[in-house]
Every structure is written in structure tokens, then in C-alpha cells.
Amino acid sequence: MSKLLIALLLCATPLAYAHETALTKVAVQTDLPTMERGADTLMNNCHSCHSLKYIKYRDLMKLGISKQKVDGWRGELGLDTPLLAQMSESDALQSFGTAPPDLSLMTKARDGGPDYVYSYLLGYYLNASGVPGNHIFPETKMPDPLGVSGTSDPAQLNSIKDQARDIVSFLNWAADPQQSARLRLGYYVIGYLLLLTFLLYLVKNQIWSRLD
Amino acid sequence: MPARIMKWIDHRFPLTNFVKHELTGYPTPRNLSYWWNFGFLAGFVLVLQIATGIFLAMHYKADIALSFDSIQHIMRDVNYGWLLRYMHATGASAFFFVIFVHMARTLYYGSYRAPRELLWWTGQGLLLLLMATAFMGYLLPWGQMSFWGATVITNLFRATPFFGDQVVVWLRGDYTVGDATLTRFFALHYLFPFIICAAVVIHLVALHTVKSSNPSGIDLAAKDNIPFHPYFTAKDLYGLGWFLIIYCIFVFFLPDSLIEPANNIPANPMQTPNHIVPEWYFLPFYAILRSVPDLVGGVLAMGLSVMMFAFMPILDRSRIPGGAHYRPFYRWQFFLFIIDMLVLGYVGYTPPTDSTLLLGQVATLCYFGSFFIIPFVSRMEERWLIKRGLPPAVIELMAGEAAAIERHKQSHEQRKGARL
């Protein structure tokens, strides 16, 4: 009976949900240099259109990015300003017909999570008549931000793939800045509970042995 | 000094007596298996949900312009806010998991049978309250799935005869799910857990009147009872340890596996998500709703599917003592029913296609069918078992019980005789 119930729990989680187009898996990184590169690319290539409104400049410093870099990005803005898009929403609406979504929760807001964002960024191609399209999100209004569709040089393509991985890693942090604290605490909690449960097992046996 | 205080209190309030009768000394069958841990676990999760919920409410804002942001504020800025929120969100799933196991145990061992019908029906009431609380809580983050889930479900009340449309507006407080809906759902989501607490007290009063059933499914005479404390306090705490391990694995390592990705997008009334799914614990019932092509029929079927459990004491006509353990046909029915629930859950989760629609309709028929055939199967099974002879284990148990009751009566008579 227990197996069936666990199966009920598992088959009901979103893990079982498959995306229509196969997504490319991305190895999300958590080291500081990757974060810094990702933030850099994001500030240069995406920040013009997209906001990260749940992230403040101070959060970037807390992550470990140097003050110098952060100061370069924020200019006159205070440390507690959220990362709003440089383009106003009405301008964006006029140019693209749709507002670029906020990216702070993006890796959690799509089926497939980081894999989706990675595949989407690299999914651009030029069709036979030279019109750009996207395999993952065919009707997207976003112009190819990393320039994959026009690139055929393998070395350059690889560096674009690295860029995409760095961006996705950074976005993965932005979606859940407390993740590393959570995992760290999690190991202690599980360790403690295993010990506690073992002791409770001994106590229970001790008490029940009185009945024999 | 403490003894004197206790004496002072007991003179005015039956504290010692209450603790002795209802908590520490409560007579409990010694053969209860670990399946009997889940009632206690449900109580534990209720406390956990109330505790985390109250602290979340200190930081949450029930306003459609602010609620999504306030959740992110809790997740990012509030000290250990992420822990509170993940504990509460995971706790909702844990609550249903524990309650489903608790119900499955009752069904398997026939604990709903006389004299425990009222106990079972108060439990049914608790299930309805829990479902309402979870449904309203799911609107509060104001994500896409929150909004569209609430829209779809409140819309079902259109099926009410004569003034369906008015009922929908009355429930939402507006023509669409909006600020009025959010604030009332928040108010009720805060209220309902306390109503649940009161209902739990009633459930426990009923339990302590009829006492726990046990895996044999036969009411055992007092000889096999042991005091709740320390035996079952120790066993419940050990079970709690395992529960907490699994719960914390979800809280710390897989918290997002229980949150739909679409709920990380703020609610947008102008844009329907391409696939609206409820939380996993509602999936079988949602599949039944979708399997009936007609709105009124679907709503009736879904409502009835939740309420079917309440008919069990009436449907089960077998007088054979013991749970599914001693009843081969009923046991088969039980496991097939669990499989059917899983199939319905799967159908509720996948986007509707012709084949899943058909599968859902067959599974819905099986769902209701398995309840409707119980009176006939249980009667037939009874006759079959009597003809074939009851399992020796049951006969032995019943003989043992009869003897124990007889002995008890005799010693009672003797004592009475001695007094005269």
C-alpha cells in the first residue's frame, strides 16, 4: 500500500510533465566567476529590455560581485534600487507588441526551468528565406539576443553556448538567492532528524519490551 | 508544592482525571500497526500549518497589487521567510498525504463500521474543511495557477439551479476573481484552521467514546488494551521522526516540485495558461469533473465523488468481522480502487485528449462502480465465507474474545455477589 501511495505523490509532481519540443539540458553552475560572467552578459545583452525587479544592486554585492563592477552597472542609482529595465514598458510594447517579462523568477516560471531558458536562448535559427525563427518558442517576439542564428563558426557558437549557460546560472540564483543557504541547512536538519529518529526507535523498543 | 497546586486545581477542574482518562491512560489496542500513526501525524501537521501560517500572515499582503510581491519579499528579505513559506506550502501536500493514508487505513481495516459511523462522518467533515482551506490558500500567492484555478472552481457554482450566476458573483464578491475574492479567501483561510481544530476535538470525542479499532477489525476485550502513554506516545514519536525526514527532504531539497511553474508568473486575467491543473491532491476529483461532458453533471459527479466515502458504513453489508485482511473480495476491491484513484490522478494531470478523456470516463465509472457494487459483493462474500468456513484466525480471535468477555462478566458477578 505504501508503494502505491508514494507513486501517487510522485506521478502528481510536475516532474512527470514532458515538454513538447525536447529541451537541451544545461549544467547550472553556482560558482562566483560564472555568476559574475552571467551578470555581466545579462547587464549588457538583456537589461536594456528586461527587468530583474526582485534583485537589488546590493544583492549582487552580497553575492560576492565586486563593488567596482556593481557601481559600474548602477551609475547614479542607489544600492537598494531594483534592477528595472532600461527601456520603459510602453516603449517595449510599441516595439515588440508585448512587454518583455521580468526575469527574476524566469527559471522557475516555465516547465523545464533552466533547461527551457537555455534551449530558448539557443533555439534561434534562420529559415530558408533568411527569416529568424525559434525552435522552442516559434512565435516569440524577442529578437535573437545572443546572435546564434547568424553564427556558423563552431568556436563562436561554443562561446555563445557558454554565455547562455552563464546567464542561466545567474538567473537560477536570481530566482532563489536563498537556495545555497537552504541546501546547507537541509543537510544539518536531515542529519539531526536521522539521529533523533534512531534514538526514538531505541526508546520505543525499550518501552515496548516491558510488555513481553 | 506542585502536588498542592494540582490538588487546588483538581478541586475546581477535573484536570488530573482528564489527563488520566483521555491522554495518558486512554486504553489502546496493543496490536495497532504503524498505519495507526497517521491520525496523530494529521494533528501534528495541523499545528505546523497554523504555526507557520500565522507567521506568514505577518508578512503577507492580501491585495492583488501587492500579494505576489509580498511572497517574494517573504522568500528573499524576511529572515527564514523562505523556510516558513516552503514549510507551509509543502505542509499542505503533507496534510493531504497523511489524511489520504489515514482514510485508506480506515477503508482497508473496515474501521468505519459500527460503532464508528459517526467517527467516520466527522472525519468526512474534516476532509471537506481541509479541501476548502487548501483551495482558498492556493489563491493567496496570486500566481497564474492561483487565479485560474479559483476562476475555474468558483465558476462551477454556475451549476446551482435558478440563481447560479448570482451565486458565483456572491462567492467572488465581484464579476471576476479579483481583489474582493482575494481578501475574503484570506480572511476565511485564516479562520478555517480554527474551525478544523474544533472539528478535530469532536472527532476525538467520538474516537474516545468508541475507542480505536485495530488491525484484526474485531473489537477486542479490555485484556488486549494498553495505556496510550507511554506505549503509543513512544510509537507515535518514532513515526513522527520518519515523517519529518521525508517532509524535510521536500522542504529543503525539492520544495519547487510541489509548486506549478505557472504559479511563479503573476496572475494575469487577460492570459489563460495553456493548461490549468489543480494541486495533486485534487487531481482525481478534477478528472471526474472533466469526464462528464455536462457542467451540472460534472459538478454533481465531482461533489458526489468526494462524498461517496460517507456512504461506506451503509454500503458495506457484510457482517463478517475483521477488515480487508479476512475478506478476500473486499481486499481486491480496495487495491483496485487505489489503482483507479492513481489512474484518475494521471488523467487529471495530463492535458485532455480523446484517449485520456475516454480513460477518464472509464475510470470515473469504475470509481462510482466500486462503491455501488459493495452492498452486493459484501453480501455475496459473507455467504461465501460462511459456506467455506471463516478463516481459522478469525474464529480463534472471536472465541478468545467471547471467553474473555465471559470471564469478565463472571468476575463482575462474583464481585457483586461478594458485596451483597
What local confidence, expressed as pLDDT, does residue A11 receive?
Answer: 46
Domain match, B287 and B231 both: no
Region label for B162, one of left (φ > 0), alpha (ψ between -120 and 50) or beta (otherwise): left
Domain match, A59 and A126 both: yes
Domains identified in chain A, total number: 2
What local confidence, expressed as pLDDT, does residue A6 receive?
Answer: 46
Domain match, B332 and B240 both: no
CB pair distance less than 8 Å for B257 and A14: yes
Find cell 553564427 and name the residue.
A151
User: Which is the catalytic residue, given B67, B93, B111, B212?
Assistant: B212
Instruction: Confirm whether B279 is a catalytic residue.
Output: yes
Domain holding B385, by residue range, is 280-389
Residues of chain B in contact with residue A197, where contact means CB-CB under 8 angstroms, are 238, 241-242, 244-245
Indicate whether A191 belongs to any domain: yes
CA distance A75 to chain B (A): 24
Region label for A97, one of left (φ > 0), alpha (ψ between -120 and 50) or beta (otherwise): left
Residue A142 near residue A44 (C-beta atoms within 8 A): no
Domain match, A130 and A146 both: yes
Domain match, B41 and B122 both: yes
Answer yes or no: is pLDDT of A10 > 90: no
- Out of B248, B255, B264, the one facing A189 most closely (by C-beta) is B248
Domain match, A125 and A203 both: no
CB pair distance less than 8 Å for A8 and B245: no
> How sure is the predictor about A3, in pLDDT bands with cuts at 50, 70 and 90?
very low
Domain match, B272 and B337 both: no
CA distance A6 to chain B (A): 9
Domain match, A173 and A188 both: no
CATH number at residue A133: 1.10.760.10
Mean pLDDT of A131-143: 91
CATH number at residue B286: 1.10.287
Indicate whether B1 belongs to any domain: no
Answer yes or no: is pLDDT of A79 > 50: yes
3-class state of residue B299 by DSSP: helix
Per-residue pLDDT of chain B (420 residues; tens, 9 = 90+): 899 999 999 999 999 999 898 888 899 998 899 999 999 999 999 999 999 999 999 999 999 999 999 999 999 999 999 999 999 999 999 999 999 999 999 999 999 998 899 999 999 999 999 999 999 999 999 999 999 999 999 999 999 999 999 999 999 999 999 999 999 999 999 999 999 999 999 999 999 999 999 888 777 666 678 999 999 999 999 999 999 999 999 999 999 999 999 999 999 999 999 889 999 999 999 999 999 999 999 999 999 999 999 999 999 988 777 788 888 899 999 999 999 999 999 999 999 899 999 999 999 999 999 999 999 999 999 899 888 877 777 777 777 777 777 777 787 778 777 766
Q: How large is the ipTM?
A: 0.89
Indicate whether B7 belongs to any domain: no
pLDDT in tens, B348-398: 999 989 999 999 999 999 999 999 999 999 999 989 988 887 777 777 777
Domain match, A41 and A135 both: yes
For B351, which residue in chain A has the nearest alpha carbon? A17
Indicate whether A162 belongs to any domain: yes
CB pair distance less than 8 Å for A200 and B241: yes
Sequence-distant (≥ 6) Cβ neighbours of residue B95 within 8 angstroms: B42, B45, B46, B49, B130, B134
- Name the packing angle between helices B328-349 and B374-388 (round to 10°): 150
- Name the packing angle between helices B81-109 and B228-253 (round to 10°): 130
How is residue B152 written as a grid cell? 475555474
Q: Is A184 on the interface with B (CB under 8 A)?
A: no
Sequence-distant (≥ 6) Cβ neighbours of residue B369 within 8 angstroms: none
Answer yes or no: is pLDDT of A7 > 50: no
Instruction: Tell me which of A179, A183, A207, A211 to substitute to probe the interface with B (most B C-beta atoms closer than 10 Å).
Output: A207
**Three-class DSSP labels, A84-122:** CCCCCHHHHHHHHCCCCCCCCCHHHCCCCHHHHHHHHHC
Hey, how many other C-beta atoms are within 10 angstroms of the C-beta on B358?
12
Domains identified in chain B, total number: 2
- Out of A8, A17, A194, the one facing B245 most closely (by C-beta) is A194
Q: How far is A96 from A140, CA to CA, in rounded Å?
A: 10
What local confidence, expressed as pLDDT, does residue B223 receive?
Answer: 67
Domain holding A157, by residue range, is 20-177
pTM for the full predicted model: 0.92
How is residue B246 written as a grid cell? 521525508
CATH number at residue B69: 1.20.810.10
Instruction: Confirm whether B235 is a catalytic residue.
Output: yes
In this structure, is the dihedral angle defined by the CA atoms of residues B384, B373, B132 and B284, taken in order, positive or negative? positive
Residues of chain A in contact with residue B82, where contact means CB-CB under 8 angstroms, are 176, 178, 182
Domain match, A199 and A133 both: no
Q: Any idea what the Cα angle at residue B371 is, between residues B349 and A4, rounded to 5°?
A: 45
> How sure is the predictor about A18, in pLDDT bands with cuts at 50, 70 and 90?
very low
Residues of chain B in contact with residue A196, where contact means CB-CB under 8 angstroms, are 241
Instruction: Confirm whether B340 is a catalytic residue.
Output: no
Domain match, B289 and B270 both: no
Indicate whether A131 belongs to any domain: yes
Q: How many angstroms separate the most distant Cα atoms in chain B? A: 85
Domain match, B172 and B293 both: no
